[in-house]
Structure 1
Amino acid sequence: MTATAIPAEETETIKLPISADDKTTILLNVEGAVKELINKLASKKEELLESEFIDGDAERTNTLNALPNSMTGVVVHYLVKGLKDDFDVEFAEKPVSLKVRASSNYDKKVAGKKRLLTKDQKNELLAKMQMSYYESDIAEGKMSMDDAMQSLKNAFEKKKEYEEMGYVLPVKKTESPYWKNEN
């Protein structure tokens, strides 16, 4: 298929034709760190949410959650975004790897009032809200006081998010988290 530009009528954006039937494969040789980052973006790893990339920024968290959940999807997302930003070029239709197929597993759990956290995850989150959780890391120089305070703040914000959606995190270690209106 030859890529012939189809100019859009009202804007200067160039629209390239695309067909879901015409598929091919490319191989990308990248550094390990690049692949690791793409994988974290695609899988929305918890450590990425708590990293300097996001750092509690709601807008960046929303951006991360809106990314495709495959490595190919993430790469194509940023390729398409770069083409649009740098050259005002886009495809006539969204590439298949960017199409939203279904909501995330997390969204399905929230909608169905399913368990979001295990008892251990709940206990760890609650522990992270205590300064004592960070004392040994601070004493050993693995973490600064500012980092500990930021982590503490992030844990409080995360707990607040759960509570705002109606998810209860009981303080008692042996109790599982549950939804407010659950029997």
Structure 2
Amino acid sequence: MGRLIRRGPDPGRPAERLDTEPGLRAAYAAHGAELFRFALRQLGDEGAAEEVVQEVFLRAWRRADTYDPQIASLRSWLYAIARNAVVDESRRVAARPWRRTLTDSPQESRAAPVIDAADQAVVDAWVVEEALRRIRPEHREAIVATHLRGRAYAEVAAELGIPIGTLRSRIFYGMKALRLAMDEMGVEQ
């Protein structure tokens, strides 16, 4: 059974299922061009970028039952899939560079895929933000304070009014929950 996708600010429009052709078409119309530009910036190859976008929507269709609009926006979910597809494509090209040269004409010399660090940082930030929303508030608070803000354990524990051992436990179990949330989102770690 497919999940519903968010359609934007118009509450009067009926939501469409992502595992149906109309739902997938709506998702592609809303996000396909943006995902293509992202993949093109990462890979530097239009053909590979088109393949990545096709792969993103194929994976989205196959895993439509795992999408939950209460946890992540459709855009964030698709970008997480796109990030993995770009990495897969980069690895595929790196593992078999001779295949690329067999299909390219002599005039076409393509550079190796280059992943733009700024774009990657933005996508990674979206993915982490969505994963943090999935874990318990006390775990999220402990992880954000210590790992993302770089505050000392003793300082955070005192502020929260809990022993340092409790804070360490929250961080430990929070990190486990965060890894699980990222796995559920389809992020390869």
Q: Same fold (TM over 0.5)?
A: no
The structure where helix makes up a greater share of residues is: 2
TM-score between the two structures when normalised by the length of structure 2? 0.26
The structure where strand makes up a greater share of residues is: 1
Q: Which has more radius of gyration?
A: 1
